[in-house]
Structure 1
Amino acid sequence: MTWNIVRLADIPATPWRNGGGVTRELAMWPAAGDWAWRMSVADVDKSGPFSRFEGIERWFAVLEGAGVLLDVAGVPHRVTSSDAPLFFDGGAATDCELIDGKTRDFNLMVRRGPRPSRMLRVEGRFAESLHAGTTIAVYAHSSTATVLFDEETLQLPPASLAWRTVAGSAAVRVAAEQALWMEIPA
């Protein structure tokens, strides 16, 4: 399988019903109505509740702005652009308070399965050995990301997502100033 590449600028913004922001759905698999995973970028303009997604594990990373205070089922979390992505239960009642103005955030939502998903920041270099049955993704935020998949090289421009499913074993290396790495069990 080859890389699927999506540029943020090519995805139309969908306004939220509560008027608090917009979402750009970068990728979902297998289909929009019954997805197993979904990746999106949200521009949050106002504080307010998050939508609940029962049976979904959720990852949240601030890309731009001062950050947010998230209350997840009564537990407070301060999340800024320098913090590791936050993992939480998508079905939990979650309220978001902007710290100092609007934010841009990355969201990964995965239907719960026997193995957990993973998201982390790449600020420099990252390497991972993978086995079949994993979907991987890299989101290059404000700078280019170089992705080496075995001997194949991908230059991913800023504000772009690349994803693929690993068919066999593979060695992956990522070099970037600001990127997100994701793994989703297939």
Structure 2
Amino acid sequence: MTQLHRLPTDALRVEPWANGGGSTTVLATGPDGSAWQWRLSLAQIDQDSDFSTLADTRRQFVPLDAPVSLHFAHDKVTPLLRLQRASFDGVDAPRAVLADGPTRAFNLMLRGQAEGEVIARPLNGAMVMSGSTSARWFMHVLAGQATLKTGDEQLPLAQGESAWIEPVGGQSWRIDGGGEIVLVRLNH
């Protein structure tokens, strides 16, 4: 059996960036909010901005609305199209340069032994996800709508809504809909 849980919108909180350059909506942290090993968030980037330096943190960053170029030390530049992921060490804090105006960005931050992956993609019809007892999933509907399905359980989600998918016993689950989604796999 798989359990589906909508993320309550009243659970979301906005926090200032550690360097004071903007704010981020924290979607979830775990396993402990104050000493998290993983953190999921949505950042609003309105202007070229420096990332906060975060020691002992690995980051995955996905621009959601417009391309972004990440400018790292030693003249390394990583151009990203929307929905394209970059992974980097939080100590190597880049500068985000906006070529086509403001964007939101999805962030996965990992510490210690935590492992995970962000997948941002279009949704057109159905996706079947194989179950695993070693991972839990998070889904955010970026655009359009989606319905999570497993067994007799269904959970419809509209644009801007998020949910947890917790496979039990390795049961597969399914996503139906149209639009764009962000999936995050977190290993236990």
- TM-score interval w.r.t. the shorter chain? 0.7 to 0.9
Residue aligning to 1:51: 52
Give the percent of matched residue pairs that are identical in Structure 1 and Structure 2: 27
Compare relative contact order (CA 8 Å, sep 6+) and give the higher one, 1 or 2: 2
1:162–1:73 distance in 2 versus 1, CA, 3 Å: farther
Contact map agreement 2:23 2:44 (CA 8 A) in 1: yes
Contact map agreement 1:110 1:184 (CA 8 A) in 2: no
Query: How big is each residue's C-alpha offset from its partner over 1:134-179, in whole Å with a ceiling of 9 and x where there is no partner?
Result: 1211110121122223442221111011114333202122234100
What is the alpha-carbon distance in structure 1 between the residues aligned to residue 112 and residue 19 of structure 2?
27
**1:18: Cα distance to partner?**
4.6
SS at match of 2:39: strand
What is the alpha-carbon distance in structure 2 between the residues aligned to residue 34 and residue 77 of structure 1?
30
Residue aligning to 1:137: 138
Amino acid across the alignment from 1:102: P
1:72–1:134 distance in 2 versus 1, CA, 3 Å: farther
What is the alpha-carbon distance in structure 2 between the residues aligned to residue 149 and residue 85 of structure 1?
28
Residue aligning to 1:104: 104
CA RMSD of aligned residues (A): 2.4
**1:107: Cα distance to partner?**
0.9
Residue aligning to 2:15: 14
Contact map agreement 1:57 1:109 (CA 8 A) in 2: yes
Trace 1:69-84 onto structure 2 (pairs within 5 A).
69-74=69-74, 75-81=76-82, 83-84=83-84
SS at match of 1:40: strand
Contact map agreement 1:129 1:172 (CA 8 A) in 2: yes
Q: How many residues align?
A: 183
SS at match of 1:3: strand
Contact map agreement 2:13 2:27 (CA 8 A) in 1: no
**1:26: Cα distance to partner?**
0.9
Residue aligning to 1:177: 179
What is the alpha-carbon distance in structure 1 between the residues aligned to residue 152 and residue 111 of structure 2?
31
Query: How big is each residue's C-alpha offset from its partner over 1:14-58, in whole Å with a ceiling of 9 and x where there is no partner?
Result: 333555322110111122211121111111122121112233322
Amino acid across the alignment from 1:47: D
Q: Between 176-185 and 166-175, report the one with greater CA deviation.
A: 166-175
Q: Where does structure 1 lack aligned partners over 5 or more consecutive residues?
A: none
Amino acid across the alignment from 1:142: A
Q: Where does structure 2 lack aligned partners over 5 or more consecutive residues?
A: none
Query: How big is each residue's C-alpha offset from its partner over 1:104-142, in whole Å with a ceiling of 9 and x where there is no partner?
Result: 11111122427x422212312433212112121111012
Amino acid across the alignment from 1:5: R
Amino acid across the alignment from 1:178: E
Residue aligning to 1:126: 127
TM score, norm. by length of structure 1: 0.84
What is the alpha-carbon distance in structure 2 between the residues aligned to residue 17 and residue 29 of structure 1?
19
